[in-house]
A and B are shown apart, each in its own frame.
Chain A
Amino acid sequence: MNTTVDDLVLGMAGSGGDGVVSAGESLLGALSAEGYHAMMTKSFGPQIRGGESSCRVRVSTRRVLNPGGALDVAFALNWEDFFRFGAELTLSADTVLIHEEKAGPPPETLGARGIVPTQILSVPVTEITKQSAGTDKAKTSVVLGLISGWFGIPAESLKRGLRKKFLSKGEDVLAANDRALAAGIAYAEAHPLLKPRTLEKTTAPPGSKMLCDGNDMCAAGALFSGVQFFGGYPITPSTEIMQTLSKEIWKYGGVVLQAEDEIAGIGAALGASFAGRKAMTATSGPGMALKTEILGLASIAELPLVIVNVQRGGPSTGIPTKPEQADLYQAAFSAHGDVLRPILAPTCVADTFAITVEAFNVAEHYQTPVILLSDQEIAQRKETVDRIDTSKLVVEERLRPQGAELEPYLRFRKTESGISPLSQPGMAGGAYQGAGIEHNEKGEPSSSGVMHAQMNAKRFDKLAPLSKRKDLFEITGDLDAPLALVSWGSSAGVAREVLALARSRGVKAKLIVPYLVYPVAEEVYADFFASVRAGLVLELSHQGQLYRILRMYVDVPKGVRSLAQSGANPFRPAEVLEKLLEAAKGAGIR
């Protein structure tokens, strides 16, 4: 009997040349083109290039929120590599385990792990490849054909994807891969599964989904905002932002400068902003440390600039390939002098786009550096995203002087909003001296305490309206609930799931997620906490940095505790729920 499923988790492992990650990417591309929701995660052995690799692809007709549990389908190209990824590629009795015939029968270690799948299929993958394609280099296409044949994944999309991938390799390679794909499908049809399982057809129209990661959405958001200059230095896990812009920005009259170091990267970006262009840089924690001096310059010179920090495990080299949310103190406080720099944070792949646009808007509107705090989890997870409606997004431009404002032009003119019209080289009548030195309204150096106090006040006052913007917060759940969750960045995804779990059990609770993390919007939190007696602040940092920063500015109710753990340790929703219910009990909430 054939069962139709609406959710399927596939996992594959092989050695460097087997192309399992490449197969996963092709599969992900085909599924998303068909309109399915899908997510892919990859794992590599210690040697990133040439060593063993594995990937998981989860596909569903509904939105995919996480990579899923035990595999429905496992593919082992050799056993040694497969077992190296035991933690990522977990099996159950229901798993369909497929292996390369050449690898031999499953070793006894499989049984020793306690669970033996009831369906184990031995397939002569190399043989099929050689016979159909005339080479053993098209193994990936045979594997995709087998998956397509057995689980009902549309072959046409896979074929289109493979053709796109091998386009530059010539007609012979294309034809060989077509034959390999067809041979895989034919083998699967000739050898039906014991308990056939077919993926349900999706009702979403084909071509309605984007396939991207957070770094893609950051680069796209920047282009949408009209970025014209990127200055930066390669650093994991932010580099893809620079890579994408290196392909795209020239089309829009912009420039990517791969600078000699992190300092030159932000320096050049600030120079571009001084010249009147929208500019950005992207880095991770260690690079952020190097950029700090020029951040101060951007603040005092009142120049717009977007600085992206894709957080990773730290300090120092830390764990470059895993997420952490421990650069919040650095972003908020690594300043010399009295400085307020807005910090914005996306929470998932999709919202990285709009939050990046917002970062440019805040930078340009308030003439300030803005720090966009993303993290490795959001930045590098590839998934399907529903088409984003960009028609309502506003793109702001900096206030430029005109008419009487140029007669004479005062760069740091005191205005009611604290925002002074900003000229740029080339503009007649607008010449001024930008500087890191304290200055008067005209921009001339000043060491007067009175002037310094006035200028500090100007630089802070102009940002005051920002923390009144409720639209930079997501508040969901029961608004009068005594039980609350607070979370930010990638952890907010877990918090959303915990909130849903709690409410599905009849527990009244609510959640606040700040997209504006700093300055702390005191009134927004005061309103939110008014009904709250207990709760959790959820974040991936040993110290609980958000929790402590909130307590600096807000009367956080005593029953609201910090639930913080070091990066690279994903929260499990069930455990968080338990802690939330404990907190409720401790505060006498029933």
Chain B
Amino acid sequence: MTTTTTTGLGEAPALSPKDFNSGLKPIWCPGCGDFGVLSGLYRALSTIGRPPHEIAFISGIGCSSRIPGYTTAYGFNSVHGRALPIAQGVKLSNPDLLVIVAGGDGDGFSIGGGHVAHAVRRNTDLTYIVMDNQVYGLTKGQLSPTAPKGLKTITSPFGSLEDPINPLLYVLAYGAGFVAQSTPADMPGMTSILEEAIRYPGFAFVNIQSPCVTFGQEEQQVRAQKTHMKPLASLGHDPSDLQKALELAGHYGTELYTGVFYRNPEPPLSYDRLIRLRQDEMAKQARPRAQILDAYLQK
């Protein structure tokens, strides 16, 4: 139900999680962690208060990349691994939009891995949510770039010989201003992290350990996560401490830390804001359409 509340800025409709639910039935397996992420996202978005039509939700390919379609926002379920470049095109074209990017570990850190570093260093104001399950679920159980060494899958039947990528260290190393991890095993925590990430005025990364009930390992299921997850707050971690954040992130794969690893206490102006400043500064040099070619006239 949509109700109206009075804010200092005038009448604005208050939004409820339902306002973001498209009603389309997800294709996910029953018990999939992505259901939790979706519901956390509905709640986070209702708190943010931007109406669905001002949100662009961009994804690649994979089970989790189907997520935009289950929201009432504008969505673009694009091609495998290219959500970040597409999302940057959207945000830089219209910085007034709230732009969220989502996908899986394969989409983000394997086929699309080359784009992550550049999205981070540009610091476009995007929220990038990776639903990390260490397996390729949509194609039925192949090895993923975050899968632990030794894991047996249908494409590594004798055990993987490769070390996994560490998504947390990866984005921290390139200078991301907001890096967090959570799990649907902690719905209130995940919801508030998503909200915080969306509010962060720059590139924000949230790794969600979202279990695959069909092809995932036993210890990564919600029940197991509940017993071994460790909230960073309970360790007394200060999210403005980058060195400590790097150290803690190094334990990806062995420890399930939840919460904010790093939040830049003084966020610099994001890329889209800098671009807008440049555009404003140069706008007075624009020529009328009919005079564009005059620049080439020889006088």
Interface residues of A (CB under 8 A from B): 29, 32-33, 206-212, 216, 220, 223-224, 226, 228-229, 231, 250-255, 257, 259-261, 263-265, 267-277, 279, 293-294, 296-297, 301, 353, 384-385, 387-388, 390-391, 395, 424-437, 444-445
Segment with Cβ contacts to A, from B3-11, B85-93, B157-165, B208-216: B85-93
Interface of A is mostly: mixed
- Across the interface, do B279 and A220 meet the contact criterion of CB distance under 8 Å? no
Known: A273-B89, A391-B290. 5 other contacts (CB 8 A): A33-B298, A207-B299, A254-B279, A435-B76, A445-B69
Decide: A294 near B275, CB < 8 A? Known: A267-B89, A275-B56, A427-B53. Answer: no
Task: Point out the residues of chain B lying under 8 angstroms from A228, CB to CB.
Answer: 93
On whether the beta carbons of B90 and A267 are closer than 8 Å, the reply is no
Tell me which residues across on chain A come within 8 A of B90, comparing CB atoms: 271-272, 274-275, 425
Cβ contact within 8 Å between A425 and B289:
no
CB of B278 within 8 Å of the partner chain: yes
Select B94's contact among A264, A275, A390, beta carbons within 8 Å.
Answer: A275
Select A269's contact among B72, B89, B292, beta carbons within 8 Å.
B89
**Residues of chain B within 8 A of A270, CB atoms compared:** 78, 86, 89
Query: Which partner residue on chain B sits nearest A31 by CB separation?
Result: B298
CB <8 Å contact, B118 and A260:
yes
A90 CB to closest chain B CB (Å) equals 28
A586 to B203, CA, bound (A): 69
- Let me know if B86 and A268 touch, CB within 8 A: yes
Query: A-contacting residues of B (Cβ < 8 Å)?
Result: 24, 51-56, 58, 61, 68-69, 72-79, 82, 84-90, 92-94, 96-97, 114-115, 117-118, 275, 278-279, 281-283, 285-287, 289-290, 292-293, 295-299
Complex CA gap A270/B88 in Å reads 10
Residues of A within 8 A of B290 (CB): 390-391
Q: In the complex, A341 Cα to B99 Cα: how many Å?
A: 29
The 3 closest A-B pairs by CB, nearest first: A271-B89, A267-B85, A268-B89
Chain B residues positioned under 8 Å from A212 (CB to CB): 296
Chain A: CB-nearest residue to B69: A433
| Closest residue of B by beta carbon distance from A435 | B77
B115 touches A220 (CB 8 A): no
**How long is the Cα–Cα vector from A429 to B72 in the complex, in angstroms?**
10
Alpha-carbon distance A427/B24, docked complex (angstroms): 21
Across-interface contacts of B299 in A (CB, < 8 A): 33, 206-207
Choose one: A32, A220, A250, A353; the contact of B282 (CB below 8 Å).
Answer: A250
The residues of B that contact A208 with a CB separation of less than 8 Å are: 297
Contacts A207-B299, A211-B298, A444-B24; is A263 near B82 (CB within 8 Å)?
Answer: yes
Contact A268 B88 (CB under 8 A): yes
Chain A residues near B58 (CB-CB < 8 A): 271
Residues of B within 8 A of A32 (CB): 298
Taking CB atoms, residues of chain B closer than 8 Å to A231 are: 85, 89
Q: What are 16 sample pairs from A and B whose C-beta atoms fall under 8 A apart?
A: A209-B297, A210-B297, A212-B296, A260-B114, A267-B78, A275-B56, A296-B79, A301-B76, A390-B292, A390-B293, A425-B53, A425-B54, A425-B97, A426-B54, A431-B74, A436-B77
